[in-house]
Amino acid sequence: MINEQLLNPKSIVVVGGSDNIQKPGGKIVKNIIDGNYKGDLYVTNPKSETVQGITCHKDVADLPETVDLAVLAIAAKFCPQTVEVLAKQKGTKAFIIISAGFSEENEEGAKLEQQVVDTVNEVGGCLIGPNCVGVLTTHHNSVFTTPIPALESQGADFISGSGATAVFIIEAGTSKGLKFNSVYSVGNSAQTGVEEVLEYLDNTFDAEKSSRIKLLYLESVNNPQKLLKHASSLIKKGCKIAAIKAGNSEAGSRAASSHTGALASSDLAVDALFKKAGIVRCYGREDLANVAAVFMAKELQGKNIAIITHAGGPAVMLTDAMSNGGLEIPHIEGAKADALLEKLYPGSSVANPIDFLATGTAEQLGDIIEACDKDFDNIDAMAVIFGSPGLFPIGEVYDVLHEKMRSCNKPIYPVLPSVVNAKTDIENFLAKGNINFPDEVQLGQALTKVFNNNEPAEKSEAPKEVNVTEVRRIIEAQEDGYVSPEVVQDLLDAAGVPRVKEFVSDQLKDLQNAISETGYPVVMKVVGPVHKSDVGGVVLNVDSDEQLASEFDRMMKIKDATGVMVQPMLSGKELFIGATFEPGFGHMVLCGLGGIFVEVLKDVSSGLAPLSQDEALQMIRNLKGYEIIKGVRGQQGVDEQKYAEVIVRLSTMLQHAPEIKEMDINPLLGEGEKVVAVDARIRIEK
């Protein structure tokens, strides 16, 4: 795993280095030299005497006794033997294998890869790759790509599962002024993947020295629980994490027999994981770079933004982007606003957006920023839009912006869109350590995404209403498949979930006796078929013995029918709770409004079990139909605390019952404080 020899090696050997800087081996040597590496640099190549001015060794066996880090740019078939010699004869404890041709290619390559891993593990070493672009730290540039970003201790730590994507993200970030502390391209993740690097950054975090920004690019989540644990831990220590998880579409239909199974996907599980951990989820390179740039600014403490501009259109678009994301652009007025307006040219406006016209000066910009920082209490941050039509230099304006970004207490987000007309001025601005958002809408989207992001979920005690012992007893007695209604009732009771009283039998007389206790009207449902409504297996408002008998006879003739269930008719809003088991992630719990909302509109929120009361409440409040749950147009709403309690109890039960692979409660009827399960299905797979 990650070690000091990888991060700060006293010596490096590039195996397969050359004078040809258009090939990986040659470019790695050049990048290390250009990065002013302070240790001993060696190169091996059987065909060269010297490489880029460095004495070249014919074979790794000819190297000095100890070499900390080896970077291999040779054919895959030669890597196992080379690693063996370095690890066991030269004391090498860190390896970066650039070469492709391993597990990503074929079975033979996978065997070569495993040989390398076994050797590195045997000596307690660290392996990055194979099939990667390398590693960057503040001590060495062991990559074969460019650009090499500005490296400093408070820059971002960036971990990528794709080498090419890492390069493109670095390019997107550096154009906005983003700095990096380290870059890890993990390639095949044969020994060390994204999760393992994050684990190291968590375990070695130093509040005084470590970077507080972590960026991730993942094409698969190999260890969800490790990612959750260490991302949550780092964020609680004061870090900010943003991540792209690529591959979020479902090719083809999902094989599932329940509403939850049809709605759920591995990507929804990733989304739930990121929310639980407190990770800001991004969906593209520019998205990630913009969020990272927001991270680098002073932290936003409120939702009220002043937009300072000399151009109307971009201010309107930024206002829309921020308002749509829940931020506010409050009206500015009063004596202090009037005093500021006096300092600006006629025709200017300070109402917000603050428009000081295309003729606005650097001095006026300074006055506006000072007023927003010190005079206007209803402003929490500023976005400054200032470009150029190409008529005159605007470096003086950017100098004022640079100074104010450091002296003001409130965060300032610069939108400098003239990347052609003011190219030199922007480059000078970024060279001073600043960030830039060339596109105002992308700033608005990134800022709202960061502002609305969840904090890591806090652990909570299991609800005392959940009888874990009884849950396990019931589960262990079941066989694979959908369990009987009686078992569903027992599991709901063990979980402390309120449910409607129901009776099941294949004998009409038993149902008649049961109804004599509850009275009419009742609901009748066929038992056996999974999708009851599709086969005419649900009848509402049965209100007589004659109708009961008629419907009983009809239902028992339905294919696969094993009995009939009767329940008292209840009223209330239809709610939905479902769960599905995602390998590695655990149970994903979904909630929403029932009926058409879940079946057609697919309005659901998701979370990973176990869930706290706060997490469950947030899931409910994230629903598009949340206003219906609250109650609209004089209708009684649903007690969201009670709804959340049911979600929490079910998530706790599921945590102790991994054999439950799919579960639906649909509907769950809610009316005021009364939240009652009406119909539920549970599928077990051991």
Q: What is the pLDDT of residues 327-363, one digit of tens each?
A: 999 999 999 999 999 999 999 999 999 999 988 999 9
Residue 111's SS3 state is helix
Take residue 336 and report the two structure tokens written for it. Answer: 């202090």
The H helix count followed by the E strand count for the chain is 24, 29
3-class SS letters over 497-536: CCECCCEEECCHHHHHHHHHHHCCCEEEEEECCCCCHHHC
Which residues on adjacent β-strands are paired with residue 141?
A: 136
* 250 pLDDT higher than 90: no
Overall average pLDDT of the 554-561 stretch: 94
Q: Taking Cα atoms as reference points, which of 177, 151, 148 lies closest to residue 416?
A: 177
Take residue 334 and report the two structure tokens written for it. Answer: 């009063």
Percentage of the chain modeled with pLDDT above 90 = 85
The total of other beta-carbon atoms located within 10 Å of residue 335's CB is 8
Mean pLDDT of the chain: 93
659-681 pLDDT tens trace: 999 999 988 999 999 999 988 99
Q: Are 71 and 14 in contact (CB under 8 A)?
A: yes
Q: How far apart are CA 462 and CA 466, in angstroms?
A: 8
pLDDT at residue 254 in the model: 42
Q: Taking Cα atoms as reference points, which of 329, 392, 382 lies closest to residue 358?
A: 392
* 413 pLDDT higher than 50: yes
pLDDT at residue 256 in the model: 45
Q: How far apart are CA 302 and CA 563, in angstroms?
A: 58
Sheet of 305-309: strands edge to edge? 354-355, 305-309, 381-385, 412-415
100-148 pLDDT tens trace: 999 999 999 999 999 999 999 999 999 999 999 999 999 999 999 999 9
Q: Give the pLDDT band of residue 263 (cuts 50, 70, 90).
A: low
360-396 pLDDT tens trace: 999 999 999 999 999 999 999 999 999 997 777 899 9
The domains located in the chain, with CATH, are 4-132 (3.40.50.720), 147-295 (3.40.50.261), 305-451 (3.40.50.261)
Q: Taking Cα atoms as reference points, which of 330, 327, 366 lies closest to residue 356?
A: 366
* 247 pLDDT higher than 90: no
Burial zone of 252 (CB within 10 Å; 0-12 exposed, 13-18 middle, 19+ buried) = exposed
* Pick from 29-38, 182-191, 358-367, 509-518: least confident: 509-518
Q: How far apart are CA 416 and CA 402, in angstroms?
A: 12
Which residues on adjacent β-strands are paired with residue 136?
A: 141, 183
418-463 pLDDT tens trace: 999 999 999 999 999 999 999 999 999 999 999 999 899 988 788 9
Percentage of the chain modeled with pLDDT above 70 = 97
Listed in sequence order, the DSSP H helices in 437-580 are: 440-451, 468-476, 485-495, 508-518, 545-556
Q: What are phi and psi of 308, to 5 degrees?
A: -105, 125
Q: How far apart are CA 156 and CA 160, in angstroms?
A: 12
pLDDT at residue 249 in the model: 55
629-670 pLDDT tens trace: 998 877 888 999 999 999 999 999 999 999 999 999 988 999
> What is the DSSP code string of 578-592?
EEEEETTTEEEEEEE
Using CA atoms, how far residue 587 sits from 226, 260, 369, 578, in Å, is 16, 11, 49, 10
Q: What are phi and psi of 143, to 5 degrees?
A: -135, 160
Take residue 284 and report the two structure tokens written for it. Answer: 């593209």
Q: How far apart are CA 127 and CA 110, in angstroms?
A: 15
Overall average pLDDT of the 241-263 stretch: 61
Which residues on adjacent β-strands are paired with residue 527?
A: 563
pLDDT at residue 255 in the model: 43
Residues making up the chain, counted from first to last: 686
pLDDT at residue 571 in the model: 83
pLDDT at residue 264 in the model: 54
Residue linked to tokens 């019931």? 474
- 378 Cα distance to chain centroid: 32
Which residues on adjacent β-strands are paired with residue 375?
A: none
Q: How far apart are CA 188 and CA 100, in angstroms?
A: 9
- N- to C-terminal Cα distance for the chain? 34
- 608 Cα distance to chain centroid: 13
pLDDT at residue 248 in the model: 63
Report the relative pairing of strands 660-671 and 680-684 from DSSP bridges. antiparallel
Q: How far apart are CA 11 and CA 9, in angstroms?
A: 5
Q: Give the helix/strand (H/E) hosting 183.
A: strand 180-185
* 251 pLDDT higher than 80: no
Overall average pLDDT of the 241-269 stretch: 64
Overall average pLDDT of the 483-500 stretch: 93
* 252 pLDDT higher than 50: no
